[in-house]
Structure 1
Amino acid sequence: MNAHTDLIDRYFDAWNETDGARRRELIAATWASDADYRDPLMAGSGHDGIDAMIRAVQERFAGHTFRRSTDVDGFGNRLRFSWELLTPAGDALVKGSDFGTVDAHGRLQTVTGFLDQVPAGA
């Protein structure tokens, strides 16, 4: 497992963590303090903004989980990977691809997300 893969696996641990205190610990260990996340539907800046964004997704999709669906591809401080949002039954509801940059301390500086598959009418 490379450093980028370990980082992105922690990223998904944070997305799936429902305990607020533990999620904030994971965010602090994974994201730079001035990090920025953007996708077509939402955005979050800094640890508080990213935590609020994840909490909102968890409220909207209670019981759903995210998982990495590809290897993490990266070079230098840049990486990319794809993911799925799974229903409680294990079906992929949403699929996407994210691109990110890593700071000098090995934490995520930016993530830009793209939605590859969304449910009809969403």
Structure 2
Amino acid sequence: MIDIKELVDRYVAVWNEPDAELRRKAVAALWTEDGVQILQPPREIREAAIALGLTSILEARGHEALDVRVTRSYEKFVAPGEFVFRPRDNADRLADVVKFNWEMVPTGGGEPAGVGLEILVLDEGGRIRTDYQFIEG
């Protein structure tokens, strides 16, 4: 039995991790080797894809791609010192599915600049097989 609070804390911490090697190790510990993050793209991308008759699913599959995804997010939002990610206190689990919200907040305090919903499908060992990410605001 896994502790979902601990899992959520480790998940959010990887997006704030400044050390590339520790980030890589955390990605490997969190996701299965063929784990995937499927991201709901911003509305503009979804609308452009629909206009072209396409789907607009963004995904990172496997440790290498997931490491690139986490690193790019870190470099864009956390490294400049403007924001930090933190979990909201609403994690819940049903069988092999965990859901929770997170916030991207200014480092100096204030209202969240972004909020997301994460739905994680876990393997029998508690590692993430599929990570569905919805940006909510």
Q: The TM-score by the shorter chain falls in which range? A: 0.7 to 0.9
CA distance in 1, matches of 2:123, 2:109: 33
Matches within 5 A, 1:14-29: 14-29=14-29
State the 4+ residue runs in structure 1 displaced beyond 4 angstroms: none
Q: Which has the higher strand share?
A: 1
CA distance in 1, matches of 2:40, 2:94: 25
Q: Considering only CA atoms, is the larger Rg found in Structure 1 or Structure 2?
A: 2
TM-superposed CA distance for 1:11, in Å, is: 0.7
Aligned residue-pair number:
116
Larger RCO (CA within 8 A; separation ≥ 6) = 2
Q: CA RMSD in A?
A: 1.4
Q: Which consecutive unaligned segments of at least 5 residues does structure 1 have?
A: 118-122
The Cα offsets for residues 16-46 of structure 1, whole Å up to 9 and x where unpaired, read as 1011001111111111111000112353111
The Cα offsets for residues 61-85 of structure 1, whole Å up to 9 and x where unpaired, read as 1322111013211111011000101
The letter of the residue matching 2:84 is: T
Q: Which consecutive unaligned segments of at least 5 residues does structure 2 have?
A: 42-57
Identity across the alignment (%): 28
- Structure 2 length normalisation: TM-score? 0.78
Q: Which residue of 2 aligns with 1:120?
A: none
